Structure 1
Amino acid sequence: MSEGLKLDAVRITDGRQMVIEVDCTIAPGAVMTIMGPSGVGKSTLLAFVTGTLNRAFTATGRVLLDGEDITSLPPHRRHVGILYQDDILFPHMSVGQNLAFGMERGGKRADRWATVVAALSEIGLEGFAHRDPATLSGGQAARVQLLRVLLSQPRALLLDEAFSRLDTNRRTQIRTLVFNMARDRNLPVLMVTHDAEDARAAGGHIITLGE
């Protein structure tokens, strides 16, 4: 049974001073927002959760996902998906190939492609599998990036300023899509942002840093 994501007495220092300190539990389908300006340790915390923390930092505490301690596991074994603000689609791959890249290996190629096609239809991009990522609008690219993360079957979702580069209309649309799809999949979501509107839209608990 899903137990959500727990940051158990997490403390990160840079060798001289405290960077960030968090102790919280995010229930399945819920969103926890950490809000604050640049430089308060938001992305550093996400790096600790994903297992990519720079060696310049020292961290204590644990990351538990569905009751399992994943603190010492390598990134590819943590089953934590992360969505960034930047466009990270591979330009040398089609939209469909980008999505298939994030899926678990194995199975028949035809079945994997059928999953990609069905997923694109689910987010309103039917017929986009063979498109060049360079032809996508900002909102379409954001949807494809979300889908690539979800097709990797994560057990938790992290959002690193994921909506900051979208215009107002696209931002509202993509934000709603992300939260709804995460809720439908019962994923705990940890979002870091400097934007109060993102925090309000997410609902759930908000931790404000740098005040």
Structure 2
Amino acid sequence: MSDGLRFDDVAISRDERLLLAVDARIPPGEVLTLMGPSGSGKSTLLSLVMGDLPAAFRATGRVVLNGTDLTGLDVAARHVGILYQDPLLFPHLDVATNLAFGLPRGGRRADRRATVDAALADIGLAGFGARDPATLSGGQAARVALMRTLLSRPAALLLDEPFSKLDTGLRDQMRELVFGRARVARVPVLMVTHDEADAQAAGGQVIRLD
């Protein structure tokens, strides 16, 4: 059942000090925004969902994605995508190969190439496949990173301050693109941000950490 991303009495602590406690559900296609100062545990919650929570932290409760308890699952088995402040494109691969990296393994080479070409056209970058990622603008690189993540067909999407390094105009465009794609794909989104404008653009519920 596609019921989104759920946090059942999740609590994260370090050195016996409680960092955060979350009990919430993110329906498919909607966004939960987590706001708070540095050190409040925002990114730590993303790590818990991803499955790479550092050993120094202790977590209780359950994270459930579309009815599956993620506890104990390997990172790859969780099917969770994440976007960071930086696009993190592979510098030794051209744009098309960066996108192809997000595709599921297997299939005919011609079909994979056609999928990549369609994806580039979809984000307004038709003909950019052979480009070196270093030649892209910040907005172009952000769009490629987003599309690479979406091509992997994530069951949930995590956003770790993904708009913070973009110019103001680009932020509006990328917010619209990211949240719009998530709605269409019916992917639940957990966003960590310091920016009130991010939360307003996302809609949905907001959790503020002291």
Could you say which TM-score interval applies, normalised by the shorter chain? over 0.9
User: Which position in structure 2 is the counterpart of 1:72?
Assistant: 72
Counterpart residue identity of residue 155, structure 2: R
User: Which residue of the partner structure matches residue 131 of structure 1?
Assistant: 131
CA distance in structure 2 between the partners assigned to 1:39 and 1:196 by the alignment: 18
Show the counterpart of 1:160.
Answer: 160
How well do the aligned residues superpose, as a CA RMSD in angstroms? Answer: 0.8
Q: In the aligned structure 2, how far is the partner of 1:110 from the partner of 1:61?
A: 45
| Deviation of 1:16 (Å) | 2.7
Corresponding residue for residue 86 of structure 1: 86
Tell me the distance in 1 between the aligned counterparts of 2:204 and 2:91. 36
1:172 aligns with 2:172: yes
Q: In 1, distance between residues paired with 2:177 and 2:72?
A: 32
How far 1:169 moved relative to its partner?
Answer: 0.2
Unpaired segments of 5 or more residues in structure 1?
A: none
* Structure-2 residue corresponding to 1:113: 113
1:204 aligns with 2:201: no
2-side partners of 1:33 and 1:27: how far apart?
A: 13
> 1:40 maps to which residue?
40
Partner of 1:187: 187
Q: How many Å separate the matches in 1 of 2:71 and 2:5?
A: 12
Partner of 2:146: 146
Aligned position for 1:14: 14
> Which moves more between the two structures, 147-156 or 13-22?
13-22
| Unmatched tracts of structure 2, length 5 or more | none
Amino acid at match of 1:143: R
Q: CA deviation at 1:87?
A: 2.8
| Deviating more after overlay: 50-59 vs 9-18 | 9-18
Q: Does 1:49 align with 2:49?
A: yes
- Return the offset for 1:62: 0.9
Give, as a single letter, the amino acid of the residue that structure 2 aligns with 1:150: L
Q: Please report the TM-score for the alignment, with normalisation by the length of structure 1.
A: 0.98
- Give the TM-score normalised by the residue count of structure 2: 0.98
Q: Which amino acid is 1:72 matched to? A: G
Supply the distance in 2 between the matched residues of 1:8 and 1:129 (Cα, whole angstroms).
43
Q: How many residues align?
A: 210
Moved more, 12-21 or 49-58: 12-21
Tell me the secondary structure at the aligned position of residue 148 of structure 1: helix
Matched, 1:96 2:96: yes
Moved over 2 A (4+): none
